[in-house]
Amino acid sequence: DTAVSQTPKYLVTQMGNDKSIKCEQNLGHDTMYWYKQDSKKFLKIMFSYNNKELIINETVPNRFSPKSPDKAHLNLHINSLELGDSAVYFCASSLSGDQPQHFGDGTRLSIL
């Protein structure tokens, strides 16, 4: 029943590793997003995909790469993890770019 689901919920790993976070939505939405929430609760857009095309690419390090195998999935791959990558990452989706966004429960990434 979950509309936007992310896995894993928690991810603890060491600096330098490569990891992926998966996101799936069953709402039939056309646009999906990734946000980063820092330790002060500030949320900032990282990427969005519309029909498998990247339409927003904010100034995030190229160690972060979104991958969308189909319209219902937008995974986030991170290479060479750094301490500053520790944050909560939220996936979201919307019917189109001007419709309200529905959020997943977040993935808490901790870098040791």
Partner 1 sequence: AQSVTQLDSHVSVSEGTPVLLRCNYSSSYSPSLFWYVQHPNKGLQLLLKYTSAATLVKGINGFEAEFKKSETSFHLTKPSAHMSDAAEYFCVVRQYGGSQGNLIFGKGTKLSVKP
For residue 100, cis peptide bond before it (omega within 30 degrees of 0)? no
Task: Identify the CA nearest to 26 among candidates 6, 2, 50.
Answer: 2
Q: Rounded to whole angstroms, how far apart are CA atoms 81 and 93? A: 25
The smaller minimum CB distance to partner 1, of residues 14 and 28, is found at 28
C-alpha neighbours within 13 Å on the C-beta side of residue 51: 2
Would you give the binding string for partner 1 spanning residues 44-63, x where CB under 8 A is met?
A: xx--x------xx-x-----
Q: How far is the CB of 26 from partner 1 (least distance, A)?
A: 15
Task: Identify the CA nearest to 32 among candidates 1, 56, 62.
Answer: 56
Residue 101 binding partner 1, by CB under 8 A: yes
Q: Which range, of 18-26, 35-43, 61-69, 75-83, touches partner 1 by CB under 8 A? A: 35-43
Residues at the site binding partner 1, with contacts judged by CB under 8 A:
4, 31, 40-45, 48, 55-56, 58, 90, 92, 94, 96-98, 100-106
